[in-house]
Amino acid sequence: MSYKVRDLSLAEKGKIQIEWASKHMPVLNMISKEFSEEKPLKEVRIAAVLHVTKETAVLVKTLMNGGAEVWLAASNPMSTQDDVAAALVMEGVHVYAWRGETVEEYFDAIKTIAKVEPHIVIDDGGDFHAYLHSSALEIAEKVYGGTEETTTGVIRLRVMEKQGILRYPVIAVNNALTKFMFDNRYGTGQSALDGILRATNILLAGKTVVVAGYGWVGRGIAWRARGMGARVIVTEVDPIRALEAVMDGFEVMKMDRACEIGDVFITATGNINVITRRHFEKMKDGAVLANAGHFDVEVSVKELEAIAVSKRDVRNCVTEYALPDGRKLYLLGRGRLVNLVCAEGHSSEVMDMSFANQALAAKFIVKNRYSLQKKVYDVPKEVDTHVAILKLKSMNIEIDSLSEEQRKYLESWI
């Protein structure tokens, strides 16, 4: 068994966390049961680059119940739950992940799991797909197919598809309705605020919270922050989304203005340099900076480091930057995903749907590996709908169905 984790003695603690997550992931449990009987992933090698959390552990165990052998590396150097990583090793998973990896160690782990020549690659953010397509083409050629968990990863894959360099089909799990409408919105909406509160313990009521980006993640954060009594300002570059934010009742303005009035800043754009030096220079003393987008490039940490006269860690997950004029700014989780670095990521209930799509996408790839082209595919509609049906069932919620008369009415034009 090959692995590299922080401390195997944490395994018992991790096992209890995985049991806790599993209790709140009924859909994945139903799929796991089916997988145990049907073994759709028999003799399939899966290499996954995901946040190594208790919810990911439930996915990995589902894939193993389906017959797969699984290698796992982290999709962020600071998001691994070390107890979970240890517990997974004890379950027979080849884990290469620990919290606090250097960037070099992070890429080494990805390279290591690529070497097993996986049939399926699961990624969150696109670093694994990018590595296979830039430095390990001979391995990429043998991959049946891949999946991608998040918006930023799908954007990168679409560019690869457009450039005609994609070497295997990819299922854009992020684009399933049962993924982005719930995980990105309600998952991040809650867990990003959880990360900010665990790190700072500030009162959100009465604060001015600036949310950059009003996509699925930004919407979730803005609505939840308002729900806790904050005055919420949204910044956007897309006129339609900006208009939506206005009509949802938020104040919308340029970051150049918002930076002067915000108490807490949360980026959720998937873009680069959204908050930079010219904004830091105008911020209030004590402003808190957090990022919920995939990469640590939204708040320019480089520029913050450059203008600060000193920095120190003042609490777990909080770095204080002192500026030349005496003001202090507080960066959370070093500008990396605040929900995963300063808290535990999304709740299990929402990852239940995201990872149900991952498991079913893996099964779909194996079944259709000879007919799929080297393209980015959405999750098939019937899979997406199936996940919603199972989730409703697990919540004991019944819905109406169309009568024959209603179906015909909807299909007629006269």
What is the binding site for ligand NAD (CB under 6 A)?
A: 150-152, 180, 184, 188, 212-218, 235-238, 241, 268-271, 274, 292-294, 337, 339
Residue 76 binding result from ligand NAD, ligand ADE, none, given CB thresholds of 5 to 8 Å by partner type: none
Could you tell me which stretch among 48-56, 60-68, 280-288, 402-410 binds ligand ADE (CB under 6 A)?
A: 48-56
**Helices H / strands E in the chain, number of each:** 19, 15
Q: Nearest 10 degrees: CA dihedral of 250, 254, 259, 260?
A: -90
Contacts of 184 (CB under 8 A, 6+ apart): 151, 174, 215, 216, 217, 220
**Residue 137 burial class via C-beta count within 10 angstroms: exposed 0-12, middle 13-18, buried 19 and up:** exposed
Residue 53 binding result from ligand NAD, ligand ADE, none, given CB thresholds of 5 to 8 Å by partner type: ligand ADE
Q: Which is nearer to ligand ADE, 213 or 345 (CB)?
A: 345
CB 146 within 8 A of CB 129: yes
Helix (H, G, I), strand (E, B) or coil at 52: coil
**Tokens 């050629």 label which residue?**
141
Cα–Cα distance for residue pair 202/205, rounded to 1 Å: 9
From the CB of 5, what's the least distance to ligand ADE, in Å? Answer: 17
Cα–Cα distance for residue pair 87/53, rounded to 1 Å: 11
Q: What is the identity of the amino acid at 291?
A: N
Q: Which is nearer to ligand ADE, 5 or 166 (CB)?
A: 5
Query: Does the footprint of ligand ADE cover residue 357 (CB under 6 A)?
Result: no
Residue 217 binding result from ligand NAD, ligand ADE, none, given CB thresholds of 5 to 8 Å by partner type: ligand NAD
Q: Which is nearer to ligand NAD, 40 or 262 (CB)?
A: 262
Cα–Cα distance for residue pair 170/285, rounded to 1 Å: 46
Residue 55 binding result from ligand ADE, ligand NAD, none, given CB thresholds of 5 to 8 Å by partner type: ligand ADE
Query: Does the footprint of ligand ADE cover residue 56 (CB under 6 A)?
Result: yes
Q: Which is nearer to ligand ADE, 68 or 122 (CB)?
A: 122
Site for ligand ADE in 162-191 (CB under 6 A): none
Query: Does the footprint of ligand ADE cover residue 113 (CB under 6 A)?
Result: no
Q: Which is nearer to ligand NAD, 40 or 293 (CB)?
A: 293
Q: Which is nearer to ligand ADE, 190 or 200 (CB)?
A: 190
CA angle 114, 120, 124 (to 5 degrees): 75
Q: By the criterion CB under 6 A, which residues form the site for ligand ADE?
A: 50-51, 53, 55-56, 340, 345-346, 351
